[in-house]
Chains A and B, each alone.
Chain A
């Protein structure tokens, strides 16, 4: 529930950004309802405004959305028993906030517990708050000055969520590796820096586990 404030602030910012891109209220609302991914929408705005080719917008969307694949990978064991249609319907509601909250509540599978109910509860609230605030932002548009620091509240929400995921020393290192890589590779087009950062952290993680396995073998 406290996360709702972060989501609302972030949604408002995204909505204002969309209003200022000049794409029109109807299209902006349509995109928000359909895409439901703040980061992808914000990344796409300058491209749409500058008339970039459609495939560039799509490629950017793909780069920003690749992290959802990781979420989907981690959710799978919790939802594997559901029919495919339901799994895909749940997928539509995946987001950063839900994921962090869900994994905080269920670090591992609890047999017999209906995980999908917890997921749906938090995901539907998130969806509602997000859509309400982004549509408010789109409609209110220019009335909201950027200096209110609303965007920063969204960043702080994500920062707090990052903290919840810092469980072991190797997750700390992975987070730092990803942060450095994302900043260092910022100049890349199409938000590729996020892809580079994830790849670097995954490579690090694989290496760290490999090294640990090797140490265990040597110790034996």
Chain B
């Protein structure tokens, strides 16, 4: 792509992300919405987070990981365990990343 095309692409991306973010903020009146959708939407944010995280943890270059010797899984497990124990966001990040790095550099996983 030429710089001009990248510029235009970025403009469009900005418009699209802002549109999505503002979607339910724009109308002055409540949007009429069937109840089942309203109920279902309660699960959308957690689904989105989970859908972004899961491939990062369990996939390498588009394939499900095949070896159990993958540092990321143990890092994630350590992070989850820490969260269950202390409910600390910061601890979860540090603990998970620490275990992952220890395994990657210590054992070469």
Contact = CB atoms under 8 A, between A and B. Distances in A.
B107 interface: no
B16 to A, nearest CB: 5
A194 B39 CA distance: 19
B interface secondary structure, majority: helix
A97 B18 CA distance: 17
Nearest to B34: A206
Contacts of A100: 45, 49
B93 A5 contact: yes
Contacts, number: 273
A62 B25 contact: no
Interface string A208-220: 0110000000000
A202 B44 contact: yes
A58 B9 contact: yes
A203 interface: yes
Contacts of B1: 48, 51
Contact of B9 (A36, A48, A67, A171): A48
Contacts of B94: 5
Interface string B47-75: 11111111111110010100000001001
B51 A194 contact: yes
Given A100-B49, A159-B76, A193-B51, A202 B43 contact: yes
Interface string A41-76: 100100010010010011001100111111111111
A163 B45 contact: no
A44 to B, nearest CB: 6
Interface of A: 2-3, 5-6, 23-24, 27, 30-31, 34-37, 39-41, 44, 48, 51, 54, 57-58, 61-62, 65-76, 79, 84, 87-88, 90-92, 94, 96, 99-100, 103, 147, 149, 151-153, 155-166, 170-171, 174-183, 186-187, 193-194, 197-198, 200-206, 209-210
Given A58-B9, A68-B21, A162-B46, 18 more contacts: A23-B3, A65-B17, A69-B44, A72-B20, A75-B25, A91-B25, A96-B49, A96-B52, A155-B57, A164-B89, A165-B45, A174-B46, A181-B51, A182-B50, A202-B40, A204-B43, A205-B42, A209-B40
Shortest 6 CB-CB contacts between residues of A and residues of B: A2-B90, A201-B47, A67-B48, A70-B44, A197-B51, A205-B43
